[in-house]
Amino acid sequence: MATRSALVADNRAIDEPEFTVAVFWGKGSNHMLRQLSLRAIAACRHSRPLWMISVLLLSPCPLMAYQDDPFLTDRVEFVKARDALRVGDREGFYRQKALVSSDYPLADYLEFEALSDQFRLSESPGKKEIQALNDFEKHHKDKVLLRRLTRLLQERLAETEKWSLFLGVAKSTVASPMPCSTLRARFETGQVTSLSDAAALDLWLQPVDHHERCVGVLKALEARQAPSIKSIWERIFTAMEKDRPEYAESMLGYLGTRDRKRVQQWITGLESPEAVLTGNDIKKDNLLNRRMVVDLVLAWSKDDPVAATEHWLGVRDNYRFFSDRLYDTNRALAMRGAYRRLPESYAWLNSFEARPDDLELKEWRVRTALFAQDWPQVLRSIRQLPKEEQAEDHWAYWEARAFEQAGHSERATQIYQELAELQSYHGFLSADKLASPYAIKNVPIVPDTQILQALQQNNRLIRAREFFRADIAWEGRREWTQVLADASLAEYAASAVLARDWELHDRAIFSAAKAEQKQALELRFPMLYTEYVAKAAKTHRVEPAWVFGVMRRESGYMSDVRSSAGAMGLMQLMPRTAKYVAELQGKPDWEGDLTDVSTNIDFGTFYLRHVRDKFDDRLVLATASYNAGPHRVQKWLPDKPMDADVWIDSIPFTETRRYVRAVLAYMAIYEWHLHGEPTPLRNRLDKIQPEVERTGSDV
């Protein structure tokens, strides 16, 4: 059997400017400590009494915080300059900026911040700012900073309606597209006069709420010359497909009486699709009716997927649908049923032939059979997967489970034995089946000496490290990722060791994953913030390994992380959840900092206990709730008792399914770290019951 892929491999190669706390003066140091330390360094430089600094830090003056630190003096002035700018002291900023050496790795960052400040404050940006931007491009190599400055200047020129200058800057290779502002600029400079312009027509066809800068332009162009009938119908179809019927309705005035009536019927039919779909007007096979049938069936399926899908299966052969539209509609209805765990969904998923490249649909055939615990169908559906996919450890595990259920214990045992050699969730489950120890082993990375030395001397990696040390970790991550974008496995391996040596722990995790060093456990699963975790775990009565597993999965130990949804810190708490936790802890007026390590770990651990209590102390359900919310988990409960491994691998949300598996595997690894031997997963996977005792809010 082919080698299985280990799920525990870190798939979250996070490279966006979002998160982390580099550890400077001991594991668990946080943002406040680092800022305090930098200010203490400044105090040392200005000969303030050493006892005062020691009281602040509870440690000696950190002038020797890094061995052979050539940037200490410049770093102090750099931080002071940024602090001055942050509080609006521009005179102080420029005074401190002048004290920073030109060869300091982050000197250009002060130039970037100075120009950003200049562009934002200029009441009438113009040629002076454009020249400053050009000078920055000539003297500095960081294209990302240049791109940000260019975007900022574009925005300011658009805000002040300097349209000719805006178009000049827009020609830069690093300029942002900004199609709405560009259309306005071209309109104001006489370059666009009608919707025959391709860029103008493209924007007009989009059923979205455009920026106010071009709304008036699009209306003016439409008033000057009516759009073609082809464009009108394209806008109607696109608007209805994107669920923006108001944009389709705005086109009714261009249509003849009959077409206007039918489109109006389509729009109003969204409120009661069954009435339109069962009427006589829609039975004739033409383009408009085909589009209406698909759109209204999908709308109907949101409220009643069974009735909508049965109607679709009964009428789809009456229309000459294009193959893509027919397939997409079949798929959308079947997948909606699968997501809602409807018993009919397996039949729907198999009511049409899956495209060879539609792996997701084929996987959902397995999951729906699995949730129904129809083991022959599970095995048949696995056999329909591509051969390389069948070899993945999660599908191999379910192949073994299906054999086991069918009484083919020898074949099941053979697969379990192969999987049990893997350091993965399904590998651990397989080891439990055999009552074997887990294949958890730390294999240190031994880097190539020459590669490691080259990386140690790489100016851009040194710059990345300096970003971390100057408390601008997101820029450090960005730089680190860019430098290593085309690295070999050996270079990634060496960079993981280097990151560990520099105490850039989240970069060590990132690089070790990129190096495919799955057993480099010291680097991939470091023991950080142990005192905070131990205290919170004891206070809130949860396993420390669970806290570590959640923290590792949520943020990869990046304490300043902020997700696109607004979740913050090591344990990725939403501000609303944090307020709820604070209220439960008797702090209704709490307005603290969720990137503070101590607070985040305490609140996150409290919430883990909270959701675990909601679900009758079931760790699996609590872990899923931490990711997806208790209200969703309640909806996902089965109608009859179900094995936890079955329930986990049939969770509708891909993110939550992977999350629960990862946290459980990480928990085992951290228990191995803490105690030398993990608790078997089988001891944590209680049967999932149809009804679980729940109390309190759904937060």
pLDDT above 90 coverage of the chain, percent = 88
Q: Helix or strand or coil: residue 22?
A: coil
Average pLDDT over residues 490-519: 98
Q: Check pLDDT > 50 for residue 176.
A: yes
H/E stretch holding 692 reads none
pLDDT score, position 68: 72
| pLDDT interval class at 409 (50, 70, 90) | very high
CA distance 185 to 325: 38
Domain 530-683 grouped into CATH 3.40.47.10: no
Q: How far is CA 651 from the centre of its chain?
A: 19
User: What residue has token string 């562009």?
Assistant: 119
Q: Helix or strand or coil: residue 543?
A: coil
Let me know: does 657 contact 663? Beta carbons within 8 Å. no
Q: What is the per-residue pLDDT across 651-692, written as a single tens digit (0 to 9) for each?
A: 999 999 999 999 999 999 999 999 999 999 999 999 999 975
pLDDT score, position 691: 74
Give the dihedral of Cα atoms 207, 209, 215, 220; nearest 10 deg. 20
Q: What are phi and psi of 393, to 5 degrees?
A: -65, -35
Q: Check pLDDT > 60 for residue 430.
A: yes
Q: Helix or strand or coil: residue 47?
A: coil
CA distance 224 to 193: 8
Q: Lowest-confidence range among 38-42, 139-143, 341-345, 577-581? A: 38-42
CA distance 513 to 499: 13
Q: How many residues does the chain have?
A: 699
pTM of the model: 0.88
Best CA proximity match to 426, nearest among 641, 650, 681: 681
The pair of structure tokens assigned to 94 is: 């420029």
Q: Check pLDDT > 80 for residue 694.
A: no
CB neighbours of 429 closer than 8 A, spacing ≥ 6?
Answer: 397, 419, 645, 681, 682
H/E stretch holding 311 reads helix 305-315
Q: What is the per-residue pLDDT across 354-404, written as a single tens digit (0 to 9) for each?
A: 999 999 999 999 999 999 999 999 999 999 999 999 999 999 999 999 999
CA distance 446 to 444: 6
DSSP string, 332-376: HHHHHHHHTT-TTHHHHHTSSPPPTT-HHHHHHHHHHHHHTT-HH
The pair of structure tokens assigned to 571 is: 């344990």
Q: What is the per-residue pLDDT across 561-611, written as a single tens digit (0 to 9) for each?
A: 999 999 999 999 999 999 999 999 999 999 989 999 999 999 999 999 999
pLDDT score, position 692: 56
* Helix segments in 502-596, DSSP class H: 505-514, 521-524, 530-540, 544-555, 575-584
- Alpha carbons within 13 A on the beta-carbon side of 383: 8
Q: Check pLDDT > 80 for residue 556.
A: yes
Q: What are phi and psi of 562, to 5 degrees?
A: -135, 120
Residue 187, amino acid: F
Is the Cα dihedral 673, 675, 680, 685 positive or negative?
A: negative
- In angstroms, the first-to-last Cα distance of the chain is 45
H/E stretch holding 253 reads none
Let me know: does 662 contact 553? Beta carbons within 8 Å. yes
Q: What is the per-residue pLDDT across 18-70, written as a single tens digit (0 to 9) for each?
A: 333 333 333 334 444 444 455 444 444 433 333 333 323 333 333 335 667 89
Give the dihedral of Cα atoms 63, 65, 67, 70; nearest 10 deg. -60
Average pLDDT over residues 63-90: 86
Average pLDDT over residues 85-100: 95
Let me know: does 552 contact 664? Beta carbons within 8 Å. no
Let me know: does 286 contact 259? Beta carbons within 8 Å. no
CB neighbours of 300 closer than 8 A, spacing ≥ 6?
Answer: 273, 274, 277, 307, 308, 311
Average pLDDT over residues 75-93: 95
Domain boundaries, the chain: 31-183, 530-683
Cα separations (Å) of 161 from 150, 154, 218?
16, 10, 17
Average pLDDT over residues 2-28: 34
CA distance 526 to 166: 49
Give the dihedral of Cα atoms 287, 292, 295, 297; nearest 10 deg. -120
Let me know: does 486 contact 522? Beta carbons within 8 Å. no
Let me know: does 295 contact 315? Beta carbons within 8 Å. no
Q: Counting beta carbons within 10 angstroms of the beta carbon of residue 523, is it exposed (0 to 12), middle (13 to 18) or buried (19 or more)? A: buried
pLDDT score, position 24: 30
Best CA proximity match to 609, nearest among 683, 652, 547, 679: 547
Give the dihedral of Cα atoms 584, 588, 594, 596; nearest 10 deg. -90
pLDDT score, position 67: 63
Q: How far is CA 220 from the centre of its chain?
A: 40
CB neighbours of 110 closer than 8 A, spacing ≥ 6?
Answer: 78, 81, 82, 97, 100
Let me know: does 647 contact 688? Beta carbons within 8 Å. yes
pLDDT above 70 coverage of the chain, percent = 89
CA distance 456 to 449: 10
CA distance 355 to 367: 18
Q: Rounded to 5 degrees, what angle do the CA atoms 365, 371, 372 make? A: 90
Is the Cα dihedral 578, 584, 590, 595 positive or negative?
A: negative
Q: Hey, how many other C-beta atoms are within 10 angstroms of the C-beta on 618?
A: 23
Average pLDDT over residues 195-211: 96
Q: Helix or strand or coil: residue 48?
A: coil
